Chains A and B, each alone.
Chain A
Amino acid sequence: MPKPRSRWSAIVIVIAALGCGGAPKPEGRVASSQGAIRGAAEAGAEGVPRATLHMKLAQEQREQALELIKSGENHRAELLLARAEADAELALALAREATAKAEADKVDEELESISKQAED
């Protein structure tokens, strides 16, 4: 049976390990957030006002996360990367929404024009 002093020492060591950012480096999130930002940019998110805001947020949060990784704060960095990825994915969806709306509006105008022709 371990002595009380050595038991307390083990507990202290575990708590210290957890407190010192023992989470692994979020390599996967670093890559997937980068991919999400690139995907949104390729979909033209930077040309859609509502999407631009989220693109900016995604980039800022990712940069902040990379700084945290450097200082070993991996757990907080992983959540920030997840936030960045969520913003980038939202920017992509907003870009798709804007594109689809513009295309539908264009076809609607064509329909209106051709319907007028049919009325004449």
Chain B
Amino acid sequence: MTVMHRRVGAPIAVVIAILAIAALVACASARPPKELIEARQEYHRAETGNAAKLVPAELHVARGALDVAERSFAESPESQDAIDNAYIALRKIQRAEALGNAALSMQDKASFEKSIRLTQQELLARSNNKLRTTEGALAKERDSLAKEKETSAAERAARVDAEKKAQEAMDALAKTLAVKSEARGTVITLAGGLVFATGRSAILPGAQSQLNQVADALKSQAEHHFSVEGHTDNQGSDRINDDLSLRRANAVREYLVVRGVAAAAITAIGFGSSRPIGDNKTAEGRAMNRRVEIIVDKQP
């Protein structure tokens, strides 16, 4: 009976041993579910990504889920639990990565905002500098305009004053000499007989007082140009009359220059008998024609 037991028990033990070995081999060679493979790969990536750097606590949670999945697979490789746990681990790893990326974007945003603030400050400073420069230029311009205004007011006053003085001088002159306003300007007429001896161009001493008055009047109108024109009657040849009229005009010009009238402002010309103002047939007319005219040009 004992022998029989031994004979039957031996094959059973062998079968059990074979089954145990087969189970172990099956476990050792069982392929992990694709979810677990993917979770392992994803975790490997996450370890060097934004999740590890910026949200390590979230990645730690994901690591815990992966450990659960690994244990589940080790305990029951073919089970649905192993697949589910690997799936959950994969999602938690992906979540950690997404939160890491969000944290990076938030960091970037903060950095961009800081740069914007700095750039805005720089722009503001630049704008303020520009404003100050413009204000400075405007102030200068205002000062300059005020000065110009002052100057032009002073100039205007001076001109008015000068014109008044000139008018007064001309009015005074008009009391003793013939002064009339014509298209070509103000004409001061000196009677030839009173200023020169017949046929001569030297100024008579008796005429000096009149010429002094003329010189004073001209000096008060320094901005004008003056012309001294010599005229004769028609007695004698034109050549002689032309020459005489020019010499007399020059004599008056030189006298006036000596008395202070600017040489550059005064010219002399002789017209001879070409521009009579009286009748040469009468003694009175001829006396009128013998004359020196000083013209004050209208335009300064």
Q: Which residues of A contact B (CB under 8 A)?
A: 54, 76, 79-80, 82-83, 86-87, 89-90, 93-94, 96-97, 99-101, 103-104, 107-108, 110-111, 114-115, 117-118
Contacts and interface: CB of A to CB of B under 8 A. Distances in A.
Contacts of B116: 107, 110-111, 114
A79 B120 CA distance: 54
B84 A96 contact: no
A111 B84 contact: no
Contacts of B226: none
Given A80-B84, A104-B106, A110-B116, 7 more contacts: A86-B92, A89-B95, A90-B92, A96-B98, A104-B109, A107-B112, A118-B119
Given A103-B109, A104-B112, A82 B98 contact: no
Nearest to A75: B81
A108 B108 contact: yes
A103 B98 contact: no
B130 to A, nearest CB: 13
B84 A100 contact: no
Given A93-B98, A114-B123, A118-B119, A82 B109 contact: no
Contacts of B108: 104, 108
A104 B104 CA distance: 9
Most buried by A among B99, B102, B119, B120: B102
Nearest to A58: B91
A53 B257 CA distance: 112
A103 to B, nearest CB: 5
B84 A79 contact: yes
B267 interface: no
Nearest to B94: A90
B98 A111 contact: no
Contacts of B133: none
B101 A90 contact: no
Nearest to B100: A97
23 contacts: A79-B84, A79-B88, A83-B84, A83-B91, A86-B88, A87-B91, A93-B96, A93-B102, A96-B98, A96-B99, A97-B102, A100-B103, A100-B105, A101-B101, A101-B102, A107-B116, A110-B112, A111-B112, A111-B115, A111-B116, A111-B119, A114-B116, A115-B119
B168 interface: no
A87 B116 CA distance: 37
A48 to B, nearest CB: 10
B119 A82 contact: no
B113 interface: yes
A83 B96 CA distance: 16
B154 to A, nearest CB: 46
Given A83-B91, A108-B108, A96 B119 contact: no
B87 interface: yes
B92 A117 contact: no
B122 interface: yes
Interface string B253-280: 0000000000000000000000000000
A27 B85 CA distance: 19
